[in-house]
């Protein structure tokens, strides 16, 4: 995946809207790419999901905005969405927001409202990417643990004492202490609370 500056992807079938939004975004200091359809956008973004957000119309030929949102939710990488529409209704806005849209702006909207929503969307994207990266690092560390070390880690994370873990696993307390020290080292944590936080970042085990 490319390490690139955040992009604002403008997806609207109206060429004049795309042009106007691109001009506004450029003047505000953003990098923008425009697309006349959801298909054109997906062909560009799915192979290279760079940081950014989508500025998306609801009503478009082919894949409409809500369907594109659903497809992006199923993609390996999420992309925050700001909806803009001249054909908005309450059910559409409720559906979009429930699915995680940053905002739903009916046309015409104020430039400052749009730019505020874009800032929020880019901040969300940056935060989500940091969290995904941290989860990936934690999982890589967890993968270095032996099956026994994982069992000990689970007990420690549940707040069990060494002697309790030893009893449950049929080990000596000394052996549990050794495994526990290795878990802390491999997971790169200094305390039990840090280990608990790391375990919370793992998929259900």
Which part of the chain is CATH 3.40.50.2300? Answer: 7-131
The pLDDT assigned to 4 comes to 61
Q: Are 54 and 80 in contact (CB under 8 A)?
A: yes
The pLDDT assigned to 88 comes to 61
Q: Are 155 and 163 in contact (CB under 8 A)?
A: no
Question: Quick one: how far is CA 98 from the chain centroid?
Answer: 16
Which stretches of the chain are DSSP H helices?
Answer: 15-27, 38-45, 65-73, 90-98, 111-142, 147-157, 162-169, 173-187, 192-200
Q: Assess if CATH 3.40.50.700 describes domain 7-131.
A: no
Residues of the chain with pLDDT under 70: 1-4, 88-90, 205
| Residues 6 or more apart in contact with residue 107 via CB below 8 angstroms | 84, 85, 86
Neighbours of 53 (CB within 10 A): 24
Q: In whole angstroms, what is the distance from residue 192 CA to residue 201 CA?
A: 15
Which part of the chain is CATH 1.10.10.10? Answer: 144-200
Reading the block at residue 161, the tokens are 């004492």
The pLDDT assigned to 155 comes to 95
Q: In whole angstroms, what is the distance from residue 120 CA to residue 53 CA?
A: 10
Reading the block at residue 66, the tokens are 């809500």
b/e 134-167 (16+ beta carbons within 10 angstroms → b): eeeebeebbeebeeebebbbebbbeebebeebbe
Say which CATH class 144-200 falls into.
mainly alpha
The pLDDT assigned to 39 comes to 94
The pLDDT assigned to 8 comes to 97
Q: Are 194 and 186 in contact (CB under 8 A)?
A: no
């Amino acid at each position: 995946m490319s390490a690139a500056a955040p992009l604002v992807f403008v997806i609207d079938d109206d060429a004049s809207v795309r042009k106007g939004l691109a001009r506004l975004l450029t003047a505000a200091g953003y990098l923008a790419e425009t697309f006349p359809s959801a298909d054109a956008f997906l062909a560009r973004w799915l192979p290279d999901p760079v940081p950014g957000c989508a500025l998306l119309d609801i009503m478009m030929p082919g894949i409409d905005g809500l369907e594109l949102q659903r497809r992006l939710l199923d993609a390996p990488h999420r992309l925050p969405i700001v909806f803009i529409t001249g054909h908005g209704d309450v059910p559409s806005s409720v559906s979009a927001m429930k699915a995680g849209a940053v905002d739903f702006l009916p046309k015409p909207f104020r430039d400052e409202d749009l730019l505020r929503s874009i800032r929020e969307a880019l901040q969300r994207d940056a935060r989500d990417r940091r969290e995904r990266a941290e989860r990936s690092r934690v999982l890589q560390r967890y993968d270095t643990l032996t099956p026994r070390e994982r069992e000990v880690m689970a007990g420690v994370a549940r707040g069990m004492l060494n002697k309790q873990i030893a009893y449950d696993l049929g080990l000596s307390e000394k052996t549990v202490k050794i495994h526990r020290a290795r878990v802390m080292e491999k997971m790169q944590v200094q305390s039990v609370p840090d280990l608990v936080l790391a375990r919370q970042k793992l998929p259900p085990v």
